[in-house]
Amino acid sequence: MCGRFKLSASGAKIVQAFRIASHIDLLPRYNIAPGQDIATIRWQPETKERGLVMLRWGLVPAWAKEAKIGYSLINARAETLTEKPSFREAFRKRRCLIPADGFYEWRQVNAKRKQPYAITMKDSCIFAFAGLWEQWQDKVTGEIIESCTVITTAPNEICAPIHDRMPVILAPQNYAAWLGEESATQDQLTSILKPYPADRMTTYPIAPQIGTAKNDSPLLAEPMADQEPPDMNQQRAFIF
């Protein structure tokens, strides 16, 4: 699965990497968690350009009775997108990119302890998860929620020792087809939902404080190695 990630790159770098026409200012975030609003890139057919919007992480299908279903739909398995009612319509019509520059997974060390790892590109560049988005309206209050999910696939060689799934990371040449800027068949789209090349990625252990969603500090993404975990009480400027 993918349950935490980071996006610390500047707004200017995000705009440049994804050729975004309309965007919003973003603060660096090092511990993005389900239920939070996250930066998402969608194709805007009315203006024929890419736009950066904030969507709630945890997909709420249009037919859902309650919004809380989103907490169980933070991820969508690539292998069953065309079969699951929660995802198949979004896969056909509402695909998106979710920018990131790292994500986190936990390796089971023993029966009592899991060790968190950061997984990034070797060159620390920005990349994009393949995502889906939906719009849901509360029939009682009229509230509209736009939400999204991260697609996952089998792990590559670097992720497999840590977890049995990994997020789908799209190659830049596939952005246009995934967003719907270019026409693509269902088979063509499913063919790009595969593990990212392991030789371009790196991973390292990090401090257990990443497990608390309110912690948001650059120290969270630093290699722990043999040093003591960081004292998050001394990083109050980064905690919200």
Q: Facing residues of 149 across strands?
A: 132
Candidates 71, 64, 222; CA nearest to 144 is: 64
Whether residue 159 lies in the annotated active site: no
84-137 pLDDT per residue, tens: 999 999 999 999 999 999 999 999 989 889 999 999 999 999 999 999 999 999
Candidates 159, 166, 121, 145; CA nearest to 4 is: 166
CB 150 within 8 A of CB 131: yes
- Residues 209, 211, 214, 218, CA torsion sign: positive
Active-site residue, selected from the candidate residues 2, 96, 148, 159: 2
pLDDT value, residue 236:
38
Whether residue 2 lies in the annotated active site: yes
Active-site residue, selected from the candidate residues 46, 83, 105, 148: 105
Domains in the chain (CATH in brackets) are 4-238 (3.90.1680.10)
Candidates 153, 171, 172; CA nearest to 80 is: 153
Task: List CB contacts of 111: < 8 A, sequence separation 6 or more.
Answer: none
Q: What's the pTM value of the predicted model, to 2 decimals?
A: 0.92
